[in-house]
Amino acid sequence: MNRRIAIVGIGNTDFNSMTPDVSWKELMFEACQKAYIDAGVDPRKDVDSFITCAEDFYEGFSIFDEFVPDQIGATLRPCCTVCGDGIYGLGNAFMQIKTGQMDVVSVEAHSKISDLLTFGDVVLHAYDPLFEKPVSGPVERQNYVGSPSYPKEKPKPIVGSSNEKNRIHPYFLAGLEMQHYLKKTGTTEEQCAQVVVKNKKNAFNTPYADYEANISVEDVMNSEYLFKPVKRLDISPNVDGCIAFVLADEKTAKKLDVEPIWLKGFGWCSETPWLSTRKMNADYAKMASDMAYKMAGITNPKKEINIAEVDDRFSYKELQHLEALGLADSGKAGKLLEDGELDISGSLPTNTSGGSLGVGNCFEATGLQKSLEIVTQLRGHAGKKQLSDVDIGIAQSWRGIPSGSGAVAIFGR
């Protein structure tokens, strides 16, 4: 089935540090409703398949996919959950449509991370329990059912407890990786700080962003080291929010009252989970982009890509990813930034949405947030920050600490 596949609908909520006014289901309903209205489709009749992207432990549920269908219009319909970032969802939607079984597929990803009271500990669970996680601190002997002390001893309260036995925050790995990146490439902490300044400034023109700010390199440099060389302002703050996309095959897309934006290529890649043998050079992004470029017929990404939204959940990641994607030479992304080439007026506008540093870290929705900006720019709907002459854009996401995996999507008009 050689059918082209288009993004025909986009919808998103505002992004906020907390969203106590709505439940996570209502948050999803809002974004999906907007996406369906944008595409002009009725999910109960016109959408053939529904994909959500979520991670059980972030959600607070087991078997998250069971909690999905009602708020996205998918009850009694083909529906599945990808345990990963939203760009993996786009790739799966693409493949479903390619089969010819489906013509219209929706993809949803969200963050309701403010509901999670033990965020740091949940992320620590992503480290190898035997060889990696113990470095974060004492692993309390738990009073599990069947243990000799059960049920004589009451489980200890964990939330909010503060003592010297507390575990180290899992983001320490970013400190190790940033040190590696800086030393290997000669990039400076100031250049990373400049990423923060740029992205938070860009976010002023993104209505849904939550962490826009007018700050200086000095402000970032003066923020405290949390995981040296990572400083407080180098880290994207957590936000809640939801994004939904509607995809359709070419024939269906052309019947809808919307300018189709083509999903021209995508790729994904996982490095070894073992920190013991991982190289920490964002090879996952390189491999994923090689796959996506090949599919999209892109042979010279530096020349052909007009706009990039890359994962910037830590400031250095933006520069590291640009190099891994072949959009900057190794060690030269910082120079491009200093020369203004990554600005909205530059030759490679990067994270014009404000990125995760300006919008906030929306977890599995990160890839869709990047994609949302690219699609909005390609539609010509980006408002003040609208670029001229933009035909091809790349969106890239990483699964976050402590992973070495990620995905890439390429969109075109």
Position among 4, 22, 78, 379 found at the interface with another protein (CB under 8 A): 22
Measured from the CB atom, is 58 or 94 closer to another protein? 58
Rama region for 60: left / alpha / beta (φ>0; ψ in -120 to 50; rest): left
Position among 121, 250, 283, 343 found at the interface with another protein (CB under 8 A): 121
Q: How many CB atoms lie within 10 A of CB 413?
A: 15
The CB-of-169 to another protein minimum distance in angstroms stands at 5
Alpha-carbon distances of 2 from 80, 90, 104, 268, rounded to whole Å: 24, 17, 16, 21
79 forms beta bridges with 50
Helix (H, G, I), strand (E, B) or coil at 107: strand
Is 134 a binding residue for another protein by CB under 8 A? The answer is yes
Taking the C-alpha atoms of residue 375 and residue 54, their distance in angstroms, rounded to an integer, is: 22
**Between residue 181 and residue 200, which ones bind another protein under the rule CB under 8 A?**
183
Taking the C-alpha atoms of residue 179 and residue 316, their distance in angstroms, rounded to an integer, is: 10
Q: How many residues of this chain bind another protein (CB under 8 A)? A: 58
Position among 1, 63, 76, 130 found at the interface with another protein (CB under 8 A): 130
Position among 3, 25, 40, 60 found at the interface with another protein (CB under 8 A): 60
Site string for another protein, 256-285 (x = CB under 8 A): ----------------x-xxxx--x-----
Is 44 a binding residue for another protein by CB under 8 A? The answer is no
**Between residue 155 and residue 184, which ones bind another protein under the rule CB under 8 A?**
159-160, 162, 164, 166-170, 172, 175-177, 179-180, 183
Please state the φ and ψ torsions of residue 361, each to the nearest 5 degrees.
Answer: -80, 110
Position among 57, 98, 270, 335 found at the interface with another protein (CB under 8 A): 57
86 and 366 Cβ atoms separated by less than 8 Å: yes
Q: Which residues of 352-383 are buried (b: 16+ CB within 10 A; e: fewer)?
A: bbbbbbbbbbbbbbbbbbbbbbbbbbbbeebe
CA-based torsion, 7, 13, 14, 18: positive or negative: negative
Position among 224, 257, 299, 389 found at the interface with another protein (CB under 8 A): 224
Position among 26, 219, 283, 290 found at the interface with another protein (CB under 8 A): 26
311 and 361 Cβ atoms separated by less than 8 Å: no
Per CB under 8 A, which region of 40-48, 187-195, 220-228, 316-324 contacts another protein? 220-228
What DSSP line would sit under 190-239, residue for residue? HHHHHHHHHHHHHGGG-TT-S------HHHHHHSPEEETTEEGGGBPPB-
| Residues counted in the chain | 413
Position among 136, 206, 281, 350 found at the interface with another protein (CB under 8 A): 136
Measured from the CB atom, is 22 or 387 closer to another protein? 22
Contact residues for another protein, defined by CB under 8 A: 18, 20-22, 26, 29-30, 33, 57, 60, 62, 118-121, 123-124, 129-132, 134-137, 139, 142, 144-145, 159-160, 162, 164, 166-170, 172, 175-177, 179-180, 183, 224-230, 272, 274-277, 280
